[in-house]
């Protein structure tokens, strides 16, 4: 077990709905990144949070938003779901002293129908 | 924008032989290059990484090389075993932010 947990593991939503995915990182992991991994593709960077503030964003529209909390947990929110949002969503976190090494959670498989 | 290209997309290797996966990156300021292994239905797991001030790093059967001038880096797996079968991703981290950009992956099949 890596210490980075995500919930739920699987989720089915209808187009147009909103979804919240959750990530719980190890104590001290104050940097968390979220990735979208479509089937057969590499993870695509959505955004990153450091000390509860967004400090980097990939090419995703504003309907993808996030929050990071003082207890090292974080959320990914997606509004107005589209069919193409169906993917595996991964969070990855690291402590400040491990300047480069990220640990991934096991992901949430989102299916939009 | 930043880009990481990975080749080949699929690789079949006889058990015991070596496997090589190659990547190129576009951002010359990239300074960290991790490799991840992802088994079916599981999370990506870091298997080895290399920083821009090092040209080569080895960990048992796995080695990574980096050519900063050519913006190339490669993963070498020797004495391949059935459990090496998985999808491997290379990635690069820019110097300006913490964003890690992934390649599209290489599906490695180890043949008996």
Please confirm whether the linkage preceding A8 is cis (ω < 30° from 0). yes
pLDDT (mean) for B3-7? 95
Rounded distance between C-alpha atoms, residue B59 and residue B82, angstroms: 18
Q: How far is CA A66 from CA A19, A31, A51, B14, in A?
A: 11, 13, 13, 45
Selected residue of B98, B105, B107 to mutate for chain A interface (largest A Cβ count, 10 A): B98
Q: How far is CA B61 from CA A57, B32, B75, B84, B95, in A?
A: 36, 21, 11, 11, 29
Residues 6+ apart with CB under 8 A from B31: B51, B52, B93, B94, B95
Q: In this structure, are residues A21 and A6 in contact, taking their beta carbons and an 8 Å threshold?
A: yes
Q: How far is CA B60 from CA B7, B47, B64, B69, in A?
A: 23, 11, 11, 27
Q: Is A33 in the B-facing interface, judged by CB distances under 8 Å?
A: yes
Contact between A100 and B42 using a beta-carbon 8 Å cutoff? no
Q: Is B47 in the A-facing interface, judged by CB distances under 8 Å?
A: no
Mean pLDDT of each 10-residue bin along chain A, 113 residues long: 85 97 89 92 92 90 96 95 97 76 90 97
Contact between B98 and A56 using a beta-carbon 8 Å cutoff? yes
The closest of A34, A56, A29 to A44, measured between CA atoms, is A34
Q: Is B45 in the A-facing interface, judged by CB distances under 8 Å?
A: yes
Rounded distance between C-alpha atoms, residue A25 and residue A3, angstroms: 6
Selected residue of B34, B43, B64 to mutate for chain A interface (largest A Cβ count, 10 A): B43
Which pLDDT score, from 0 to 100, does residue A75 have?
Answer: 97
Contact between A45 and B89 using a beta-carbon 8 Å cutoff? no
Q: Is B53 in the A-facing interface, judged by CB distances under 8 Å?
A: no
Residue B98 has pLDDT above 80, yes or no: no
Which pLDDT score, from 0 to 100, does residue A76 have?
Answer: 98
Angle CA(B94)–CA(B96)–CA(B97) in degrees, nearest 5? 75
pLDDT in tens, B35-91: 999 998 889 999 999 988 889 999 999 999 999 999 999 999 999 999 999 999 999
Rounded distance between C-alpha atoms, residue B95 and residue B30, angstroms: 5
Contact between A42 and B51 using a beta-carbon 8 Å cutoff? no
Which pLDDT score, from 0 to 100, does residue B7 have?
Answer: 97
pLDDT (mean) for B16-41? 94
Among the partner residues A42, A56, A100, nearest to B97 by beta-carbon distance: A56
Question: Token pair of A57, please?
Answer: 């964003």
Indicate the pLDDT class of residue B100, thresholds 50, 70 and 90: confident
Which pLDDT score, from 0 to 100, does residue A81 have?
Answer: 98
The closest of A95, A76, A72, A73 to A87, measured between CA atoms, is A76
């Amino acid at each position: 077990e890596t210490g980075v947990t995500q919930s739920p593991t699987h989720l089915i939503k209808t187009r147009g709905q909103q979804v919240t995915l959750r990530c719980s990182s190890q104590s001290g992991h104050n940097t968390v990144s979220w990735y979208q991994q479509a089937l057969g593709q590499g993870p695509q960077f959505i955004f990153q949070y450091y000390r509860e503030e967004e400090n980097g964003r990939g090419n995703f529209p504003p309907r993808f938003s996030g929050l990071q909390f003082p207890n090292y947990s974080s959320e990914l929110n997606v509004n107005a779901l589209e069919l193409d949002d169906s993917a595996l969503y991964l969070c990855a976190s690291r402590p400040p002293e491990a300047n480069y090494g990220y640990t991934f959670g096991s992901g949430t498989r989102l299916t939009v129908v | 924008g930043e880009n990481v290209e990975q080749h080949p997309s699929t690789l079949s290797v006889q058990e015991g032989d070596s496997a090589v996966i190659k990547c190129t990156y576009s951002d010359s300021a990239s300074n960290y290059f991790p490799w991840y292994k992802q088994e079916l239905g599981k999370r990506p797991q870091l298997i080895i990484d290399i920083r821009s001030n090092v040209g080569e790093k080895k960990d048992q059967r796995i080695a990574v090389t980096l050519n900063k001038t050519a913006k190339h880096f490669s993963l070498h797996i020797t004495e391949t075993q059935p459990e090496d079968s998985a999808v491997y991703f290379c990635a690069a981290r820019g110097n300006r932010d913490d964003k890690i950009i992934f390649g599209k992956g290489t599906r490695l099949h180890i043949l008996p």
